Structure 1
């Protein structure tokens, strides 16, 4: 098994802003490093509007947390320095970081604006040890770019990420599978990667409070209460992760829709309604273009402006709004749990791997059978795709003749549902 690094910028927005302000300070001006004083990135002091996107260590001592309203932060520390975010500049710094890291190895998977995985396998003969390489990377970033990173080292991706979250800033930590009992099992279960608020609440009800208790719990109990996500958490608690560093990310192209919400959402029921509207919009466009898709992806932008996405590829094509909705709902839940149930600002659904309609007509009866298997039973569920197609065609005909808003699902009739017709959304 190879060695994997997870490299994460310490308080990225604050660090990058600090570097910029220090460079811009006049020679005769007293230079203040906002990393060393109570300071936050985000919002507007005068309007007391917005949320905390990043905070200094000094701000953290006042009890200020990322994601809370600016008004709350001002109550805790009235004299705190508030600096508005500059996302264009942050993207520039992100590119500089990734370009610098690629001077060590091209085998890098960027997973967000401020973090990436690195496969050490291709350069292991150039360094006496993984630790030596990690320290070299950490120190080079600090010297060349002026900000600090943490580097986590492991033999699996999830543990490398966990390791990078240990003591900060400017640190290197290891968390190999052989070390999890000593270094990870005593940690609160909420510190496990992908353990979101709702999952943690469920685990607490089961008497599971630390990662070790989760790791030693019967897997079937976790699956019974948390479904597929329970299995994922159990595997991560035991250091099981079969994913590899993906250095060849392909641009997802196809039919898609996204919507910028009029207000931040953290209610799953409301989010599912938006996903349903998006799914039907995307499916309708697929059918109108006489296309079907094999790949479905969900894209999210949270209220801290961090973007995330997740996708799945089917073994057959679809143009069904119902099917796209079920897939997107599952993908979103996985993302949301992983990212801590943060409030959502933008939602999007995209499809790719498109094929012309007609492929479905050539499928045998076996192709439209979905095999559902678990430990208790093996069952074969016959989904009537023909009925689903006829329903979709009937709905398309009504919408084409009378307008998009003349027929809706009952679940979309509630007043609080975001009206996509009158809100800002994008087609791709």
Structure 2
């Protein structure tokens, strides 16, 4: 790629736009994992989700640290597996009812993971990460949970909840699944067939929330995994796809995870697309529903820029939805949005606010960056326009934006010191920074 410099010899990134060339809808890539519910079950911080336009909250690992044993999980709701599956008294919806009500009031659609929370101390003992004793009964329990939240069963609700995910990371070993590969494949088949028989196209079912495909994306995982782990994930995937194809198991979406840097995640996204096509499932949705590159850096410019780069890259990729892991408020690990001490949103939260500006405008327009590591997406509603840029190229870049008049544009930056703060112009995009331009 040709390297461009400005008059002073600085590296220059050129962005070329044509707002008359409309491409496709901006995708709901700014969804998140568990919401910022407090240990006291309060929605004090949910207004931040509303203000950022978060479209979905994937309900997995919900309040596992402090409210563990109360929310979402099958054993938290159906506490005695020997109880009558058709009796409302067998179900304890109390805390999950409250949580989903809080999400709906915040304008966020729940994305429900049917299964269990990860058991990080499974090396000592795992209590719930086991295959159900009766797959048919487990599927019926899932059915009644869906009926409670979407059809009003058991003094329930008529919420809009489209996505129902069957388990999480069964390829992760004993922390998530003590059974064999085939045990999970069969659980998926039994459950998916039962749920689609009950609800048809009123819901979307999928899985399996793969740990990720680092082995085909150049490695670069933050967990220092061994090659045999990479191979396990690939073997599990290929076994699953072959099984659902052979059994004609319903699947509306395939879900997968990545905690790798942007460029590795882009490779995974492309590989998933190729594999879905190969197996004859090119028509289903692809969900990256756990991701968080350099999560230990959350709250600085680099983390914000990496996250923004992934969002912008996948708008041009295959993924139909992404859910960052996650939006928790209690505890610093994997909290992508909030400072653990102040409970205030930091830089990465504002990348989602910026992306939501594109999402609200609705339609992606032609926008090309000539520089590796500088990502750009523009959107329009026919009257108003916005351009979002991120720089993880490793160097500061002077900016040349062609094809539009930005004389009256509003410019906002995110970096180590700014959180979508106003700036007088967009003449430079420093390394590890994000800019939003609106006109």
The answer to whether the superposition gives a TM-score over 0.5 is no
TM-score category (smaller protein): under 0.3
More helix by share: 1
Structure whose alpha-carbon radius of gyration is higher: 1
TM-score of the superposition, structure 1-length normalised? 0.25
TM-score of the superposition, structure 2-length normalised? 0.24
Greater relative CO, 1 or 2 (CA 8 Å, sep 6+): 2
